[in-house]
Structure 1
Amino acid sequence: MLKVASANIRFDNPGDSPNDWSGRRELLSRLINDFTPDILGTQEGREPQLKNLESLLPNHKLIDLNRDWIEERMYPCIFVNSEKVDVIDSGDIWLSQTPFEAGSKSFESAFPRLCTWIQARVIETGKDFFYVNTHLDHVLGKTRKEQIQVLITEIKKLNSLSLPIILTGDFNESPKESVREVISKEWSNLFDPWEFLGKAEETSFHKFDGTHDNGCRIDWILADKIFQARSIEIRKDHEGEIYPSDHFPVFAEFNY
C-alpha cells in the first residue's frame, strides 16, 4: 500500500494569530504523523518554516538536494518516509517560459510558481513511479492553464521511462474547470480517486473557521490508473479555534 498526503500548510504569517505557525504547527504535524504518509506534498511555506516542519516529522525527510532556496519564495515540497520510499532523482520546474530559471514567472502570474518532483521506488514492492507536487496561480484561470501545460511538457521530458505518475497540489480551482481539462487531454491515464470512490464534493480551503460558503475542492490528488484507490479523505480536524492550516489536508491510500 502507498499512502499519499497533500497539504497547503499556509505561510508563516504572524497576522494569523492564534492560527499563526507557532499556534498550529503541532496540530498539523500530529495529523501528518498519525496518518504516516509514505509521500507528503506540501504547498506554501518558506525554507525556515519547511525545515521546522521537517523537524516535527520524525519519519520524513524533506527532498531538497537539487534546490537552491530563494529566501523570499514559497515552495511546494516533497517529504518522504525513507523506510518506505527510495528517491532516485528529484528537482524543481518553475512554471514559466523559462522553467529552469529559478524564481522566474510568466503568464501574468501573481507570483513565481513551480512544481517539484521525484522519481522514486516503493521499497516493499520494488515498483518505480514519478511523483509531482505543485501550487498554481491563485488569480487567473488562463494563467493556471499555461502553468499546468509547462508542468506536463517538462515532466514528460523528464519521465523518459513513462513511469506511472501521481500528481498532487493546490490547483486553486475545482476539478471541474480548465486545469483538469488540460490534464485529461495530456494525461488521460490520470484519475481522481475522489470521484472514482464516489465521494460528495467538499470544500478544502477555508478561512481558519472551517467553512467557506463559496469554496470548492481545490486541493487534489490524481494518480495513474495503475494505482488502485483504497481511500481518500479531507481531514477537518481542529482544536477549538485552532486549525492546522487554512486548507484541510487530503489523505489517500493506494495499492501499488
Structure 2
Amino acid sequence: MRDASKFTILHLSDVHATAGELLYGQVDGLARLTEVGEYVVAAGVTPEAVVVTGDLVQRGHWAAYAKVDAALRRLGEMVGAPVFTVLGNHDADEPARALTGHHDGHYRVVTVGPIRLVLLDSRTGALEAEQLDWLSATVAEPFGMGTVVALHHSPAPSPLPTLSKIGLRDPQLLAQALHGSDTRLILAGHYHHPMTSLFAGLPVSVGPSLAYHQVMNAGPAAVSGHDLAMFSLVQLTADQVSSAPVSLQAAHPLFSTPVSALSSTPTR
C-alpha cells in the first residue's frame, strides 16, 4: 500500500542498451531493466515514478531505442508507476524521438501527484540559453511538495580525478535558473558511480549505472568499469530527502530476520 506522505522515485541511469551484440560482450541493458522491476516488486517497493537519467542506448545503437521504450513501458507496468527519461551524451536527437515523451523535444515538465518533475536535456554536456530561460519560467511558481530536476550531467563534480571535469559545463547557469525556486532535489547520472552532494544549497543524487560501475581505484590516468548493475531508491517527504543505491548483484546474506522482530533484535 502506498504511503501518501512519501514520494518514492525509482532512479535508473546509464542503461547503454545495444542493438545486436551485448555491451562489452556481456552486458544486456534491456534485460537489466526487467531485473530492476523484478527486484523492486520482490522488495515490496511501490514507487510513484521511475526516472531514467540518460545514456539509454550505447552510442550508435539507435535501433535499440524502440526496444528500450518497450522495456521501459513493461517496467512501468511491473512497478505501477509512470516512467520518464532524459537523454545523455550517448543519446542522439532524432533517433531518440522514438521514445515516449520525446516526440516534440527532449526537455519538458510533468507533474506526478504532489511532485513537479523537470526533465532537462544535457546531451551536449551543457544547458543552452533557451532551455535555461524555459527552466526559470517553469519553476517560477511553487508546486505541491516541490520540484525534482532530472538531467544526465551532474552539476556537482565527481571526487574521482578522472571524472572530475566531465560534469555539467557552466553549472552556475543552472544554479541561477533554479535560484529561489521550490526545487527539492537534482537527479543525475553519467559518472557510473553513486554520489550525493550539495550544489548551490540543493541536494544532488547521482545515480549509479545499470551497465557497469567505475573501478574506483583504477588510478588517476585510467577509466575502468566492472560488471556491477545498480540503481537508486529516492524518497521525499514534506521535510526530508533520502537516496539509497541498490545493487542487482546482491551477495548471499549473512542473516535474515523477520521485519516484525527488528525492534527487539540487537544490532548485528
Give the TM-score band, short-chain normalised.
0.5 to 0.7
Structure 1 unaligned regions, length at least 5: 65-69, 78-90, 94-99, 103-113, 123-128, 138-142, 241-256
Q: Equivalent residue for 1:252?
A: none
Q: Match for 2:7 among 2, 14, 27? A: 2
Structure 1 residues 223 and 37, CA gap change in structure 2 (3 angstroms): closer
Say if 1:130 and 1:159, in contact at 8 Å, map to a contact too.
Answer: no
Structure with greater contact order relative to length (CA < 8 Å, sep ≥ 6): 1
Q: Find the partner of 1:121 among 113, 119, 135.
A: 113
In the superposition, relative to structure 1, how do residues 150 and 7 fare at CA in structure 2: closer, same or farther (>3 Å)? farther
Distance 1:136 1:92 in 2: 14
> What pairs up with 1:142-181 in 2 under 5 angstroms?
143-147=124-128, 149-158=129-138, 161-163=141-143, 164-171=146-153, 174-175=156-157, 178-181=169-172
The whole-number CA distance in structure 2 between the counterparts of 1:173 and 1:159 is 18
Shift of the alpha carbon at 1:222?
A: 11
- C-alpha separation in 2, matches of 1:173 and 1:230: 18
Alignment TM-score, normalising by the size of structure 1: 0.53
Q: Distance in 2 between matches of 1:180 and 1:23?
A: 34
Q: Return the letter of the residue paired with 2:173.
A: V
Which structure shows the higher strand fraction? Answer: 1
Percentage identity across paired residues of the two chains: 6
SS of residue paired to 1:56: helix
Q: Aligned partners of 2:170, 2:10: CA distance in 1, in Å?
A: 20
In structure 1, what is the Cα distance between the partners aligned to 2:179 and 2:69? 33
- Say if 2:8 and 2:235, in contact at 8 Å, map to a contact too: no
Does residue 1:232 correspond to 2:213, yes or no?
no
The structure number with the bigger radius of gyration is 2
1:169 counterpart letter in structure 2: L
**Counterpart in the other structure of 2:75:** 56
1:29 aligned onto 2:37: yes
Aligned length: 186
DSSP-derived class of the 2:247 partner: coil
**Could you tell me the TM-score, scaled by structure 2's length?**
0.51
Whether the aligned pair in 1 keeps the contact of 2:10 and 2:47 (CA below 8 Å) is yes
Query: What is the aligned-residue RMSD (CA, Å)?
Result: 4.5
